[in-house]
């Protein structure tokens, strides 16, 4: 088929081997994204890279494909663990991202004998050990759990040839620097380093200076940019009225999936509980929840059973949810880069999206920082909202995610108008209790593959040249 050969040629032009091209084609990718087009040839040359790319730009394949290609000569179908030492190590800040990255690697590696594995904290370490013992060429890990395994001598990093630091900015934000230093000291000096970061702070540049050798800088979009296809809007609202406003906004968006961000775990829990009480299918994910609970909530959201997912920045990092139409910042982040990450959850893969922020007086200083960072002023409107919200009669689960950005804005405006309400929110002592995770039943490796990801074939943000 003619179109097919043109498609393959485009990735083919990057110098990738046949088994990888086959997997790419089967995945439905037709053309390399900008970050892939830039990073793959350089990485294949063995250069160290410092790449500026957000999640959603196709960055995983940008490092996974060259890794696979470079490891192909070492691929062995032998079952002897000695034939499968860890040759590539990918570090990610969160378990969710680690899982997603490793799932992608498995897809790209499916026509090769190369093996990969993901290890992360929050699950019984013993369930990971047998898998490690069989030997894997590519290990994806969160830093803390990797060090646990090193201590338990369940893995050896002495043959690592390629290191990837994925979402390096987030790793620094999360305080992983000491762990990173310990890990890097365990790796052979002679190796290739690929660093990916959505933002370029001075700390990131310092990290690059410390750990990379003459890195080549590649960027697919201006650093700290926000996607143009995301309609951004701020509602100025008193802190005490945020919950009522949020409820109204969500009710007006009936049937649409929304990711809501809070700054703290306790607010995430309380809010999801409050939303449930007014009849919205909501759940929360945050660092205090067990891995099992987080996976279940995420799976339910992906399946459209949950319409509102309330998340903290850490928990939401790396989530790849196709065509999420709306993100709401219940509280805006004090670190402006987090705003860029948060709104990057919507408007992905070329779709349009809406990002709304509820901002109280105390937060206006953070808003100013955000606007400085993204180099644009966000449309603001004073929200008049009553302290209560109506209880909806019915909320239909999602049939198809859609991307009607323009329509959204009008509906949002409408939702923010004052409404008459008679029902007072009931006092619920639950809200005053700290979050208590349910007992974490032995999670096992099975749960890691339980996220079903569709491979979008749409052009990605960078591909359409719509990042400012």
Q: Which residues bind ligand AMP (CB under 6 A)?
A: 29, 32-33, 36, 55-61, 320, 455-457, 460
Taking the least distance from each CB to ligand AMP, the nearer of 56 and 215 is 56
In whole angstroms, the minimum distance from the beta carbon of 169 to ligand AMP comes to: 15
In whole angstroms, the minimum distance from the beta carbon of 136 to ligand AMP comes to: 20
Taking the least distance from each CB to ligand AMP, the nearer of 48 and 320 is 320
Taking the least distance from each CB to ligand AMP, the nearer of 7 and 173 is 7
Taking the least distance from each CB to ligand AMP, the nearer of 60 and 312 is 60
In whole angstroms, the minimum distance from the beta carbon of 42 to ligand AMP comes to: 17
In whole angstroms, the minimum distance from the beta carbon of 174 to ligand AMP comes to: 19
Taking the least distance from each CB to ligand AMP, the nearer of 29 and 235 is 29
Q: Please choose, from the candidates 272, 273, 281, 244, the residue with its C-alpha nearest in 3D space to the C-alpha of residue 390.
A: 244
In whole angstroms, the minimum distance from the beta carbon of 3 to ligand AMP comes to: 15
In whole angstroms, the minimum distance from the beta carbon of 10 to ligand AMP comes to: 9
In whole angstroms, the minimum distance from the beta carbon of 446 to ligand AMP comes to: 22
Taking the least distance from each CB to ligand AMP, the nearer of 61 and 266 is 61
Q: What are phi and psi of 84, to 5 degrees?
A: -130, 60
Taking the least distance from each CB to ligand AMP, the nearer of 35 and 141 is 35
């Amino acid at each position: 088929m003619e179109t097919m050969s043109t498609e393959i040629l485009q990735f083919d032009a990057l110098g990738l081997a046949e088994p990888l091209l086959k997997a790419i084609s089967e995945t439905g990718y037709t053309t390399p994204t900008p970050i892939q087009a830039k990073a793959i040839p350089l990485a294949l040359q063995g250069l160290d890279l410092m790449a500026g790319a957000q999640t959603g730009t196709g960055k995983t394949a940008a490092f996974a494909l060259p890794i696979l290609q470079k490891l192909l000569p070492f691929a062995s179908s032998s079952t002897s663990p000695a034939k499968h030492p860890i040759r590539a190590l990918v570090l990610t800040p969160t378990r969710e991202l680690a899982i997603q990255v490793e799932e992608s690697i498995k897809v790209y590696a499916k026509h090769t004998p190369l093996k990969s594995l993901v290890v992360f904290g929050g699950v019984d370490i013993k369930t990971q050990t047998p898998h490690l013992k069989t030997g894997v060429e590519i290990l994806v890990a969160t830093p803390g759990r990797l060090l646990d395994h090193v201590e338990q001598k369940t893995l050896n990093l002495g043959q690592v040839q390629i290191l990837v630091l994925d979402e390096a900015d987030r790793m620094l934000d999360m305080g992983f620097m000491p762990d990173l230093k310990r890990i890097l000291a365990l790796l052979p000096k002679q190796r290739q380093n690929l660093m990916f970061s959505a933002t370029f702070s001075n700390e990131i540049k310092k990290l690059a200076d410390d750990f990379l050798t003459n890195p080549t800088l590649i960027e697919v979009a201006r650093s700290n940019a926000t996607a143009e296809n995301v309609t951004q809007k701020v509602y100025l609202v008193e802190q005490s009225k945020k919950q009522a406003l949020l409820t109204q906004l969500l009710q007006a968006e009936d049937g649409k999936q929304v990711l809501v961000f809070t700054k703290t775990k306790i607010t995430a829990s309380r809010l999801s509980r409050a939303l449930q009480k007014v009849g919205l299918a909501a759940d929360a994910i945050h660092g205090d929840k067990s891995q099992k609970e987080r996976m279940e909530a995420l799976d339910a959201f992906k399946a459209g059973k949950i319409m509102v997912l309330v998340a903290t920045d850490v928990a939401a990092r790396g989530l790849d949810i196709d065509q999420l139409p709306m993100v709401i910042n219940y509280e805006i982040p004090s670190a402006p880069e987090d705003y860029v990450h948060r709104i990057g959850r919507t408007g992905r893969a070329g779709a349009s999206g809406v990002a709304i922020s509820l901002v109280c007086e105390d937060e206006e200083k953070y808003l100013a920082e955000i606007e400085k960072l993204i180099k644009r002023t966000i449309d603001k409107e004073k929200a008049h909202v009553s302290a209560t919200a109506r209880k909806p009669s019915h909320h239909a689960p999602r049939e198809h995610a859609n991307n009607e950005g323009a329509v959204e804005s009008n509906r949002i405006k409408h939702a923010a108008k004052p409404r008459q309400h008679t029902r007072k929110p009931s006092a619920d002592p639950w809200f005053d209790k700290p979050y208590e995770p349910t007992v974490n039943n032995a999670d096992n490796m099975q749960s890691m593959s339980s996220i079903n990801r569709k491979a979008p074939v749409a052009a990605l943000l960078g591909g359409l040249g719509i990042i400012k």
